[in-house]
Each structure stands twice: as structure tokens, then as C-alpha cells.
Structure 1
Amino acid sequence: MEKRLYLAGIVTLLAGMVFGFEYEPYWPGTEIQNDNWLYLERDTDQLPMDADRVYQPVTLPHTWNALDTLETKKYRQAASWYRKNLMITPEQLKQRLYLRFGAAGQEAKVYLNGEELGAHRGGYSAFTFELTGKLKAGENRIDVWVSNKIKNDLIPQSADYNFYGGLYRSVQLITAPEVSISRKHFGGPGYRVWSEQVGDDSADMNVTVQVDNGSSKASSVTVAARVLDLDGRPVSTGRADVQVKGGETRAVDLKMDDVKNPRLWSPEHPELYRVEIALSQNGRILDSVVVNHGFRWFKFTADQGFFLNGKSYKLHGTNRHQDYYRKGNALPLDQHLADVKLMKEAGVNWLRMAHYQQNDYFVQLCDQLGILVWEEIPYVNKGKPELIEPVMHSMMKDLIEQHFNHPAIILWGMGNETWMKDRGDGYAHNYDLIKGVRDLVHREDPVRKTVFVIGDRNYASELKVVGLMDVFGYNLYRGWYGSTGYQSLTDRLNELHAMNPDTPLILSEYGAGSDLAVHTEKPRQQDFSIEYQNDFLESHLDQIEKLDWLAGANQWAFCDFGAAHRGDSIPHVNQKGLVTFDRQKKDAFYLFKSRWSTEPVVYIESPFWTERSGKPKKTYRVFSNMDTVEFFHNGRSLGKQTEGFRWAVTLVDGENTLLAKGVSGDVQLEHGFSVRFGDKEAKYLVRASAEEAANPASHLVDGNLNTRWGAEGEQTIDLDLKKISLVNGVKIKFYKGESRTYKLEIKGSSGGKKSTVLFAGESRPDAELQTFLFDRQQELRYLQVFAKGNNENNWNSYYEIIPIVTLEKQNKNLYETIGEEFAQ
């Protein structure tokens, strides 16, 4: 038996070498069932009896919110139905069969041939139903009800991200023998592998296997495991002979040999051993699995930061939401791989999976490529403790069981920025709820630590919640929300440290939004310029590195992500990413890479700003980790620098070529781009239906109140503000006349085909420059003035059209309001 098990391990190792980072399912006999699904967008709890032709063909992963979350704040939160006609052969009926769903947002019910198999609550964890004895040879119909409605006994109930609906991860058909390793244990693999005592000289090994007897008779079996090192040699073994009753699932613990001189796992060296587990009877293998295992130990301290494998280690981290532009959260596996590779390129060694359980494959990649992980359940903002406690416990149990075997994970998170009030005795109203989940974590996992997160407030300390946790996180957006600048970060962190001297702290979120199309020479808070984000993050990186007691920090967020309620420069998107929603690298990506990565970096800020105006003397900053950088303008060297990396450049009219060359030893790297400079640049783009060389529409936006445009009859004037802006109205200077009034209609849009009428009426005859305020502030990029002519000669004649644009929102969305409250 042991020889067969060893050979199986060699085959698995060779497969890993050939296929690289292929998705590794928990069990053999796993078939992906993502093709040939049918979708019915019908908000009903009643099982549809419609013919298949009524449905729409879809392929999983699938969400019905991939597009509407980008178009409206009120995206579809309702129920839909999925159907699949599953073909089962007589051979398959001889084994046990299971259907495993990777996730369904936010709850689901599953039916087989019209009979309900069961339900699952929670939009982020996997769930499994056994089909054995309920299938027939030939076609079997699977119906799945999925709903993303908000409910007061389900979490999350509100958050700064979208609650996508759908079957947005893979579905698996799994076969197993009658007596097997469990395929249905809380949606997880049915086996656990861990090490509690790890050192340079030796490490213990612990294995627990859930043996599932699907027969009606007791069965005597042998459970065996062996650990193979990176060269395929066995370094630890263990076995146990047990009897499992008919219909029983029994947990079997194996006493394993210690592993001598283990090669330790770290983000820099993600060494993975292979653990093989086999279930046999009378020398015949019934079932077997293979799992990766990494030996590492870690420690969070309140006064010295974080330690990995006995050495001080700075956690350079970020946060990750799982969605993508125009795909929602229905990501193919190759996008998960692309995301991890991007993070590794930037030098990320530490990731918070916000704010929910993420894809099995993504966590697998963190093991293989080397990123430490904090994973959490979606307790965000609010929820009545007495209503949400059951689902919080089930979510945490699912999370731990499903991702327990991943060495990358070191923290289990229990919540984010939840609202707290004094219950009357100096404790938070949700204190017992949080404590109960914490206790569950410590019962279930003897190795990982617990963490909870709050915003920029003191009440978690005052209401005793900080003391519950092994580690505590603070989300601080100083310089983005509130009136304090980003230079106040150090003082605030030191204040929190003094307030909680015995608890290790993490800066769990910090960030600033940016838009590739927005640039300024005078960056301001919440202007969404690339330059402000760069200044903000550079200051944060400097401050964080100087705080030795701080365990680590997680920038918010690695990728821009969907948040339909937002009205930022790109509506419906949270833009604080180092990369855009469709994974274009922003300047800040290279800033982080120059600080965190050992890979050489030279990058000039900002290649997205290719049109410049104003004064010709500009300052260009270079992000680099190389020993020396030399800067060139139009082929002429402006000198070398070894630190700071900022050059004064005097641009010339027309094209300017910028180039930076970095040198470290024998390594040379360069980055450059061209910039067009002119002393004047129209603030807005304008086009009119009647214009010619002598009557250009540009006179309407040139800032000169003495130049004008005119045309007879009904005309349209289209303005492009170049970016989505907050617009309160429009000012127009008319060609004057004692009794002349102009008939106007003003429309606006953020970029779609649909425009909204914002004003319709006449101008006054008693003023040249008039203001037309909208009923409420608008988020617009495009304005159209439909000019119907004046009351004297049906002529239109205007000197200037000035959109009233502001950076100050009149009506802030929920999360901006919360952010400002936390910053007080």
C-alpha cells in the first residue's frame, strides 16, 4: 500500500511540474460542470416548470450584475434560476456522487429532478450536496434558485462593494467510493494537515481525516499518510486502523513523525511539501488525496511588529476584491492567476482578502507563489447580533474548513468597520457576538490568529472589543477623508498604539482614489488626480517604514473595484487601486514596486499625462530602486541622481521626449514617453452644429469674454469636460440686447447614450452673464446646450459657456459620510 501511495505522489509531483499553477481540486474524480447551463431571470421562489427554450444559455462562472452595477446605483438585487441537464452513466451510478458549488451570491436552493436537495446561506463559501441514490441513468435536471436580496438575518447588509448575484464560481461533479474521505464536510476537503511546533531543526505533523462510510455496514479501514519533501522523498509517516459504523462519518487523527530540518515556507521561498493521504482496506486502496503543506511559524507582537520563521518581517500588504470590469465577480481562473502575479510583481508579501472568502484557486496560488494571507467573513457595517449570529458562525466554520490547509493563511478576520454602541455596561452591543465567533476560531484552529477591523475611531478600545482579538486593524484614510492631512498618520498610529499597548496593530486600510485621465500640478484631497494618489501613498510608505512596532499595513486596494453607489470621477467604481478595474497599472503600482520589489524599476510620473500647458518649467519625479538614475530631455542629460529622483524640466513648444535611465551594477533599465506642450489648452472640448473658421465653437470655452460664436435657428453645442465632474449648473454670457431673451434646453450625461434634461426655459434680458443652476448636483462628463434662438431674430450668439464645476459634493454617499465620521 505504501509503495502505491508513494508512486501516486511522484505522479502528482510530475503533474505539478508540467502544468505549473493549474487548479488542483481537493479530490480525484472531480469534473468541472461549467458548460451548458441555462439562466432564467425570474424573481420567484417557485420552481419553474418552463421548457428549456424559455431560458438563456450561459456558461459559468456567471453573474447577472456584470453590467448594471456599472450603470446605476440601483442594480438588480433579486432572485434568478439556473438549470442544467446532467447526464449520468450507469457506471457513475455505481459510485457516490456529489455536486459542489464554489459559491452562489448571496444564497441558494438546489433541486434535483424537482426535489429540493438543500439550501445554503452566504455568498462566498462553497457548499456540497450528495446526489447518491437520487440520480437516474440518463438525463437529470438540476435547478438552482439564487438570490442576492439584502436580508436582516444574512450578511453583508451594507458595504462599499457590490453584492453580485449568480453562480459566479465553478460547479464540480465529484465521485467517491462507498467508504471514502468525506466530500461533504462543510464544503471542505474532509482532511486537515497542520503543524503547531515548527523550528529550524524540526516540525511536528498533524493529520485529521473525516472517514465517511456510505454503506449500511460497519467497515474496518486503515488511514495512512506520508509527507514527501521537495525532492519526492518521504520524511514523515503515520497510520491508524479504525472501524467506522454504517452511515457514520468519523474523524481519525494520525500520529505523525516529526519532520527534521524542514525547508521553511515564506513569501520569498514558498517551499511546499506534498502530503499524501490514503484510505485502504485489506491492503487495497479505496481513496486517496494529495495536499500541499508549508512549514512556517509566525508571531505578532505589540511592541516589535511581526516575526516570520523567527525573524523580524515587515508585512507589505494590500487588499483585494474579487471582481473585474464588465465581468463582475464571475472571473475565469486565469484572471485569478494574473492578479496574484501582478501583486508579486509589485512586491506584495501580505494580502487581506476583503471582505469575504475568496476562490479556492486564488488561495492555492498564494501558497504556491508566496503571499501571506488574512481571510475574513463579510460582517461589514451592521447587523443585529441576535439575527446574524447563526450565519456568522456557519460562515466562519465554512471558511476554516474549506481553507484550513493553506499555509499562506495566518489570520482569520471576523469583521470590518462594524457600527458599535454601548450596550449599557461599557461593552459594545456586539461584544458577545464577536467574542463567540472568536472562540469558535480558536476551537477550530490551533495555529492561526484572530483579527477585527474598525475605522478611525476610538470606540473599539473604549467598548472593550480591541482586547478580544489577537491582532487589531485600523482603517485610516487621513488626507483622503476628513480634515486632517496625510502627514498626521504617524501621530494617529502612535496614539492608537499608546491606547492599546498590549495588542498588536495593523494598518488594515489606507488609500486615495485616482483616475488615469485626471492630472494636476497642484494636487488636492479627493481631486482623483494621479499626482495626489502618488503624493499620498509615497508619504504613507515613508511613515509606515519608520514604525518598527507596527506589524504591517495593507493599502486599499490593489485593484479598482465595483461600488455601484459611488459617484467618484468614474461613477460606480471605487478608484483607490494600484491598478484599474481592468488591471491597467497606475503610476502608484510602480511606486510600490520601487519600494517593495527586488526587481529593478525605473518609471517617470506620469506617462498618462501627455498634454501639458501653463508654465513651461515642470518637475518630473521618477520611481526607482536603482543605484543611479539619469534623466534626459530631448536627448540632453539633465544629470544623475542617487536618491530623491526629481528633475526640473523646461518643456519646449510641441513635442518633448523624456527618458530616465537607471543603473545598478551591470543592470540597466530605462523608461520614457513623449509630452506635447503648448502655452494654451482648452479647459473643455466643444463642438457646435454650425461653426466655421470665422465662427469657431472654441470661442465658447476659450476663457475670453470678448470672443463669441453665433448661428441662426435651432443649434446644438456639445461640451466634453474631459472627465466625469461634479456640476452644479452652467453660466452663459449672452450677446446683449435690451429685451432679448434666449430659449435654451441643457442636457447632461456621464458617458452613456442617455442624457437627462437639466434645464429648460429662457434667459433673462437684464444681464449678460447668467447662471442656470440645476435642481441638484450632477455627475457629468458631457453637456449639451440646445439653443432655440432669441425672441428678436431667432439668432443664437454667446461669448462663453462655463460649467459650474466643483470638488465639493452636495450629497455625499454613505461611505464618504462614514469615512468623514471616522476621520474626526
Structure 2
Amino acid sequence: MKRVKLVFFLGLLICSQYISAQNKQRLINNWEYLKGDLGGVWEAVRPVKEGNPESVPLWQSVNLPHCFNALNSVDPDENYYQGPGWYRTQLDVKNPYSEGRTLLHFEGAGQKTRVYIYDKKVAEHVGGYDEWTVDITDAVNAFKKTAAFDKEFKGKIPLEIRCDNSRDLEMIPSDLSDFNVYGGLYRYLNLVYVPKVSVDKIFAAASVDAKGALGKLNISGRLLNPNGVDTVSVKIEVRDPEGKIVATWENQIKAFYGDKALWEANLKAPKLWSPEKPNLYTVQTSITAKGDTHVHQEKIGFRSFEFQKKGPFLLNGKRLLLRGTHRHEDHAGVAAAMTEEMIRQEMTMMKEMGVNFIRLGHYQQSRIVLDLCDSLGILVWEEIPWCRGGLGGDVYKNQARRMLTNMIEQHYNHASVIIWGLGNENDWPGDFNEFDEQKIRTFMKELNDLSHKLDPTRKTAIRRCDFCKDIVDVYSPSIWAGWYRGIYTEYKEASKKEFDRVDHFLHVEWGGDSHAGRHSESPDKALSIVETGVGTDERAGDASLHGGAARVSKDGDWSESYIVNLIDWHLKEQENMPWLTGAAYWPFKDFSTPVRPDNPVPYMNQKGVIERDFTKKEAYYVFQSYWTAAPMVHVYGHSWPVRWGDAGEQKMVKVYSNCNEAELFLNGKSMGKKKRNSQNFPAAGLRWMVKYNEGPNQIKVVAKTKDGKEITDEITQEYQTAKWGKPAKLVLEKIAEKDNIVVMQARLFDANNILCLDARNYVTFGLTGEGALIDDQGTSDGSRKVQLYNGRAVISVNTNKGKSVASVKADGIPAGFLSIN
């Protein structure tokens, strides 16, 4: 497969697909950060140089990765910060190579970045999601010749970086997007030493015939050779998943510029890559010049895939139902600055939920994510951030072209990637006074052609832009049955209608919001007022909590109880849609967004199956019950401490399991055995109508695996029969304490001290004293302003080993207080 060469040269910037682990150092510690701008770079240098106590005093010590918006993105009282910020450190540069190059490799920085060595600008970059590399060799060598190098900086190299996420209409993504456009050095930054000649990129195109009998490998490369060395020796080794060398090639060639085809190889009966067996081969390329060798490694996989016309998806010649979700780069307490350990935990949780496909929304993501998708066996749709707002001018378009090129070049070798996404919701106007569908179509076609030129082996796709659906290879319309429009039982019919309109259909984005910890005795009540037969798409204004036609997103209870029913129905139906390529739930984890200030957790999109801090919601187990093979069983309601109803009233207890049979016990008494049948909604038939006792109740389930082993799950729930009246008072109490962290719970009672179990009032927590609220986390138990879930809300306090007084208040209700010692 021939790869068309297209290279964008940006001064000293060198986009790098992979930097060898040799002589590579993550720059994590010893950074200072300043929120806001400076008069110039000299103000960042001067305090270090002179130690002047009257210089700008607002620098704070930080570690990388770091995001401007770690906490303020979910501050309930103000908009998140958008503007410049500065970072500075001092580098101890010791390049081991004679005439070697010293590089700064950015894995991502938002959104506009300038890089300085001392007071000299060495590079700038626009685009918060690309990888990019700066050659600082000449600037470092020049600074070493100054008196300041030895005298003021004691042999260190001053590095200053300015990041800026200010609003800019001529930059993608649009600020109308339903996610934060974060700022900062929020992905890893690496100091890298390479010889005078090194590998810039290796493109390893791995393919396999329909029978899987013959694998082909086409390898081309690009060098970093700024000194113009004439001749290099190239050695390539291919190792199988067990590390055995299965092919080699070696040659001495003239040094080249741009891309050069290096080697074609055949491998008999390669071990195929799949979600079940993600076999990865290693391509190791060694470049030797003037006595120095640079070693570069890539992981590749052999697999074939096909979106059949008007049919399902095939992987390695067999149908695979794509069971997917989505990911935003966002986490409690750090925003976009997720560490490698956090990313690994998140991706592992997805795999353990049964995911075999992910759409990375709505921008190219960290190489760590893509590496994990390769090794875990998760197929990928990755896209550029042309998201909402319309279409800008030449600067705007050039960024889109550049980011598409960077995304494809940087992630070209990943076996997991099957789709390059060109945009999202491009039918959404607002950033410009012109909204011209034909101009959007013209540019979409240009991006589609560019993608196929850069990589003919993968498909292109967009989501929700009907007037461009004929341009791309794969199209996803807007289908939100049971949330923004319609009811969830319309899902299959709506999907088939959209499937028939295009050649290749893939449904990404479905689901709904749930406020973690909120549960309902009548979760589907809102469905009775929603009009059916009028479509299931999302339309302008549907995300608002006010106005318009009845819809569950506005008129429902936002309970976990409703969302598990919606998910359960969708998964049940997907098992009986033989034409379906797949679907992806939106999203895996709750994430912050500037356009949803009125949600139960302000500024949070709460559609995730886990919370922003990895806490699992009940929905996680519904997916597991359909998608996983490892035996599991889960009683619904682990975060539902108190149920309510009349004395003697029958209540449904639901169990989610992938086992064939389960037996329920209530207070030690068997409620009988049930057989699992995925088409028996809800809970695949594993549901029991039982009568709770007033007060505490023990619920236990015993499920049998296929080999006869038993697995269990159990919870304790109170049952309240007393009826509550108008909310009258808030009570704040300590419910746990460990390692100077106090967990507090606020509860809302009526005048007769009866807990108001359907209360959804907003409450605001406060603290005076030596402690500190653990808030601005974007979670149901980490937000100082939050809607109650079943009449209660939880938050924690770091006591700092001192005394404080905590408070909780709600409109029209006397505040509650708690002394903490």
C-alpha cells in the first residue's frame, strides 16, 4: 500500500511519532507556574536571575502534567479560566552524543504555546492535542557561551513556556463545544537526546490477506538530519509477540529528506491482532551515522477489517459487534493533566466493562491512550477537534489540515485505529456570521481526500452532520432515544431508519445523564409525557433544562434507576440487530463542560457510567452483564441506602449478571431462582418482587457460573414507610473519619423529622476554620454546590489537624452546622 508523502514544515518544529526510550527524560518536577500573563519573557527570567523579592510574587511550585483548570473548570460560582499562563524551570542539559541534538518533545499542550530558552523564543505551536518537538540545540549552545550560564544559573539552562487557552474563533475546537478547552502543559514534556542523525518517524503499514495466511509489511521513514550527514546505515528487525526475530533487513543508503520507502517484507501466518488476542509485533529501526546509533521502536499489529455495505462490521473476516464508549481527557482534581497511572486505570476499567471499541472525543489524545488501546485490544475512532461553531477562514482551515496530518502521522502505526474522524456536529452554527452548508461540504471533502491520501488503509467518519453524510466512509447520525427525543423503546426502529440512509452506519453517542447516588421508585415516569414518533435526534435547545417539548433530559428525574433501564433496553436490542456494525455509549466517565452550569453537579456532563474520580455508577454493571465473559453478579442499589413505599408493598429488586441462573435472598429467606434471558426486560429476567421490612433489610444474590461455581453480592437497605411533607430543616453530620479526612453528610427533613427521600434541592457547603473543603472535584460527593440525591449529599473536609465549623444551606431552609475538631 503506497503512502502519499505530505510534510508540513514549521520552522524548528519537528512532529515526532516516537522518541526512543534511550536518553529520554520526563520533565515532571521542579516547575513553577504563574496564572496570567507577563509583560514579556524577561519577567520570567529576571526573578530567577536576580532573586529579587519585589519581582512578580505569584509563581507557585507545580509538577507536570499540569492544567490551568484543574479545579476552576467545575467551580460553581464562576466561569473557568481562559487566558495565558507561564511555566519555568532550569534544565541540566548533558547530551551524550558528539554533535547530538537536544529536543523538547511535547506530548500535548493547550492551546497556543511559545517556548523560550532564556530570553530567546525557539518555537511556537497552535493546537492543544498534537505531539510536537522543538530542537533547542542551537539555543542551548548559544546560552552556554553567556556569562549568565555560569554566574546566575550555575550551569543550568533556563526554560520558559507560555501556554494560552484564550477564546479564539479562528481556532479549533469551538468554545461552543460541550467540553472545556483546557490550558497548560497537561501532557508529559520530555527532554530527549539523539545523535546527529536520528529517526523522526517510521511508518509501518501492516496488512494481512483475507485468510490471514500472509502478512505484508511496508516500512518507510523520515530522518532528523539537520547537519546534512550524507550516508547512513539502516537496520530493521521485526519481532513477533513473544520477542522472536522473524524478519530483518540491513543496508547502507544515502541520507534522505522527506519520506522514503525502506523495506517490504512478507510474514507467513502472522499472529492476528484482535480484541480477544491483541498480538503486537515490534519493528525496531537502527540508524547509524558517524559512529552513533539511534534505535527506534514501533508496535504494530496484523489485522483486516471491513464495514460491509449495508451490513455489519468484520474483523479478520468475522462479524464483530462493536461495543463501544467514548473518552474525554478529564479527571477530578487535575482536569486534563492525567498521569499515566490514571490513564491506565481508566482504560483498564473500560476493558473490564467489556468495551472493544472507543471513540476518542473530540480530539486526538495522548499516545499513552493509543498504546493501551493496542495492548488491551480496543478498536479506535480518533478525530480532530473540528467541533461545532461552523467554518472559519484560512487560519482555521490550516489548523484543521495540520491537525489531521499530525494525527494520522503520529498514530499511523497503531493496530487499534480503524477510523479517522473529520469532525463532530459540524451542522452546529454560532461562531461566525456566515453558515454556508456548501462551504462546509467543500472543506469536509478536502479533509476526506487528505485523510485517504495520507492513509488509504483506514476509513473516515463524522458524527451528526447530515448534509455531509455522503462524503465520508462511515456516518453516525444523532440518535438519543429516551433522552433528548422520544423514548428508549424507539431505539431499534430509529437506528434501522438511519442505517437504511447510508452505506456504512455506526451509532456513536447514546445514553443520558444520571446524578450519582440518586435513585427512584418510579424511574420511567417521565416517558408517559414524551411524544413518540417524532424522531429521536437531538435538536437545538434540547440540552437545556428549560423550555421546549417534554423530554426526559428536562422532565426526567436524572436517576441512576432510569439510566440503567435505558442502557438495559439498548443492549438488549443490540443483540438482535444482525445488520448493526456497533454503537458507542456517550461517555465512559463524567466530564466537565462550560455549557451546563445548571446540572445537578454544576458544569458537569453527567452521562458517564463512572464518576469523574473513577467511582462506578450502577450502569457500569449493566454493561458488564451483557459484554463480559468473566462471571459477575451485582445487586442494583449499592449507593441507594434508603428505599421507600407503603408497608407490605411489593418492590422490584434487580440483579445484573452474566450467569445463567441466580437466587435472591431477602433477610436470609430465599425469594426463588431466576434464569437469565437477555430479551426479558428489565435485568434480563433477574428481577424479583419482594416485600421489605420496615427498617434495615439484607439483600443477597447467589449466581451460578457455567462450571457450577457460586458467586455472590449483597447490600443492606433501609425501608421507610413514613410519608414526608415539605422540607423544613437541614442536618449536617459526620459519617466517617480517617487520616484527618472527615466525611460529612447533609440530610433534608420535614417538620416531623422525616427524611425527604425525593428532595432534589441545591445545597451549598461552607467551612470556616483551619480545615479545607475537598471540593471542585466535579463529583456528587466532591462539590460544594450540588443537588441532593434522595434527600442527602456528601462532602469531605481535610481538617489539617485543626478546628473548623462546617455549614450547609439551601434556599428557604435554615442552615445546618457541624463543629469539626
- Band of TM-score, shorter chain: 0.7 to 0.9
Equivalent position SS for 2:36: coil
- Among 353, 376, 384, the alignment partner of 2:383 is 376
- Asked if the contact 1:564/1:571 (under 8 Å) is kept, the reply is no
Code of the residue aligned with 1:507 in structure 2: it is H
Q: 2:709 aligns with which of 647, 652, 667?
A: 667
Structure 2 partner of 1:773: none
Aligned counterpart for 2:450 among listed residues 440, 445, 458 = 440
* In structure 2, C-alpha distance between the alignment counterparts of 1:659 and 1:688, rounded to whole Å: 33
Alpha-carbon distance in structure 1 between the residues aligned to 2:202 and 2:293: 15
**Superposition pairs for residues 267-666 of structure 1, below 5 Å?**
267-281=275-289, 286-387=293-394, 388-419=396-427, 428-454=438-464, 460-461=465-466, 463=467, 465-482=468-485, 484-500=486-502, 503-523=503-523, 524=526, 525-526=552-553, 527-566=557-596, 567-615=598-646, 616-643=649-676, 644-664=685-705, 665-666=707-708
Q: Give the match's secondary structure for 1:432.
A: helix
Q: How far off is 1:751 after superposition?
A: 9.2
| TM-score calculated relative to the size of structure 2 | 0.78
Letter in 1 for 2:401: H
Q: Separation in 1 of the partners of 2:510 and 2:261?
A: 43
Instruction: Provide Cα deviations, 1:86-117, integer angstroms capped at 9, x if missing partner.
Output: 12237567421100111111111111121111
Matched, 1:146 2:163: yes
Compare CA radii of gyration and give the structure with the larger one.
1
Deviation per CA, 1:537-584: give whole Å up to 9, x if none. Answer: 111112223222221100011011111331222111111111111111
Out of 42, 49, 63, the position equivalent to 1:59 is 63
Match of 1:191 among 189, 202, 205: 202
C-alpha contact (below 8 Å) 1:420/1:429 kept by paired residues: no
1:232-243 aligned at under 5 Å gives the runs 232-243=243-254
1:165 is matched with 183
Separation of aligned partners in 2, 1:426 and 1:153: 16
Assess if the C-alpha contact under 8 Å between 1:213 and 1:219 holds in 2.
no
SS in 2 for 1:195: strand
Residue 34 (structure 2) pairs with residue 40 (structure 1): yes
- Tell whether the 8 Å contact from 2:91 to 2:158 is kept in structure 1 after alignment: yes
Describe the SS at the equivalent of 2:460.
strand
Q: Does 1:700 align with 2:751?
A: yes
The 3 A distance-change label for structure 1 pair 63 and 629 is: same
Letter in 1 for 2:600: S
- Structure 1 distance, partners of 2:688, 2:300, is 49
**5+ residue gaps in structure 2?**
1-16, 52-56, 145-154, 527-551, 677-684, 732-747, 765-779, 787-807, 816-821
Aligned residue in 2 for 1:113: 118
1:30 and 2:24 matched: yes
- 2-side partners of 1:385 and 1:611: how far apart? 53
1:722-741 paired onto structure 2 within 5 Å: 723-725=760-762
Q: CA deviation at 1:753?
A: 6.7
Please identify, of 405-414 and 541-550, the stretch whose mean Cα deviation from structure 2 is larger.
541-550
Q: Write the distance in 1 (CA, Å) between the matches of 2:186 and 2:440.
A: 31
Classify 1:557/1:68 alpha carbon distance in 2 versus 1 (closer, same or farther; 3 Å): same
- Aligned position for 2:790: none
Q: Answer whether contact 2:115 2:161 (CA < 8 A) is retained.
A: yes
Between Structure 1 and Structure 2, how many residues are aligned?
676
What do the CA deviations read for 1:489-538 (whole angstroms, capped 9, x no partner)? 222212212222xx211111001111222111111323110110011111
> Which structure 1 residue ranges, 5 or more long, are not aligned?
1-22, 183-189, 455-459, 690-696, 705-718, 728-748, 756-779, 788-824
Report matched runs for 1:81-230 at 5 Å: 81-89=86-94, 91=96, 94-136=99-141, 137=144, 138-157=155-174, 158-182=176-200, 190-199=201-210, 200-216=212-228, 218-230=229-241
Please state whether the residue corresponding to 2:69 is helix, strand or coil: coil
User: What do residues 174-222 of structure 1 show as CA deviations (whole Å, max 9, x unaligned)?
Assistant: 111112212xxxxxxx111112444411111111111232324x42122
Deviation at 1:384, TM superposition (A): 2.4
Q: Is the 8 A contact 1:196 1:446 kept in 2?
A: no
Task: Give me the whole-angstrom Cα distance separating, in 2, the residues matched to 1:492 and 1:92.
Answer: 62
Distance 2:96 2:521 in 1: 70
Give the drift of 1:266: 0.4
CA–CA separation in structure 1 for the residues paired with 2:726 and 2:473: 53
Cα 1:591–1:131 change in 2 (3 A) is: same
Residues 692-736 of structure 1 show CA distances to partners (whole Å, capped at 9, x for unaligned) of xxxxx96637799xxxxxxxxxxxxxx998545599xxxxxxxxx
Q: Distance in 2 between matches of 1:783 and 1:477?
A: 34
Amino acid at match of 2:166: K
CA distance in 2 between partners of 1:345 and 1:516 (Å): 20
**8 A contact 2:763–2:785 mirrored in 1:** no
Tell me the SS of whatever aligns to 2:92: strand
Higher mean displacement: 248-257 or 591-600 = 248-257
Relative to the length of structure 1, the TM-score reads: 0.78
- In structure 2, give the amino acid aligned to 1:58: V
Q: Work out the CA distance in 1 between the residues paired with 2:583 and 2:39.
A: 44
Given that residues 122 and 139 in structure 2 are in contact (C-alpha distance below 8 angstroms), is that contact kept between their aligned partners in structure 1? no
8 Å contact kept, 1:659–1:670: yes
Q: CA deviation at 1:250?
A: 4.1
SS of residue matched to 1:505: coil
Contact 2:24 2:193 in 1 (8 A): yes
Distance 1:572 1:338 in 2: 24
CA contact 1:610–1:676 (8 Å) conserved in 2:
yes
Deviations 1:432-486 (A, max 9, x none): 11111111111111211101110xxxxx44x3x111111111232121113x111
Counterpart of 2:156, as a letter, is E
User: What's the C-alpha RMSD, in Å, of the aligned pairs?
Assistant: 2.9
How big is the shift at 1:350? Answer: 0.3
Residues 274-332 of structure 1: CA distance to partner in whole angstroms, max 9, x if unpaired? Answer: 111111359x6622112211110100123221000010110000011111112101111
- Letter aligned with residue 704 of structure 2: V
Give 2:751's aligned amino acid: L
Q: Which residue of 2 aligns with 1:251?
A: 259
| Contact 1:686/1:720, CA 8 A, preserved across alignment | no
Match of 2:794?
none
How far, CA to CA, are the matches of 2:505 and 2:784 in structure 1? 48
Note closer, same or farther for the CA distance 1:224–1:622 as it changes in structure 2 (3 Å cut).
same
Counterpart residue identity of residue 271, structure 1: N
Alpha-carbon displacement from aligned partner over 1:324-358 (angstroms, at most 9, x marks no partner): 11210111110111011101110000001111111
Query: Equivalences for 1:668-683 in 2 at 5 Å?
Result: 668-680=710-722, 682=724
AA aligned to 1:635 is G
> Is contact 2:722–2:754 with CA below 8 Å preserved after alignment?
no
State the SS of the aligned residue for 1:430: helix
Say which SS state the counterpart of residue 165 (structure 1) adopts. coil
Residue 153 of structure 1: SS of its match in structure 2?
coil
- Give the Cα–Cα distance (whole angstroms) in 2 for the partners of residues 161 and 654 of structure 1: 43
Find the counterpart in structure 1 of residue 769 from structure 2.
none
Give deviations 1:338-389, integer Å, cap 9, x for gaps.
0111011100000011111111111101111111111111111114243421
- 1:295 maps to amino acid: F
Percent of aligned positions with the same letter in both sequences? 30
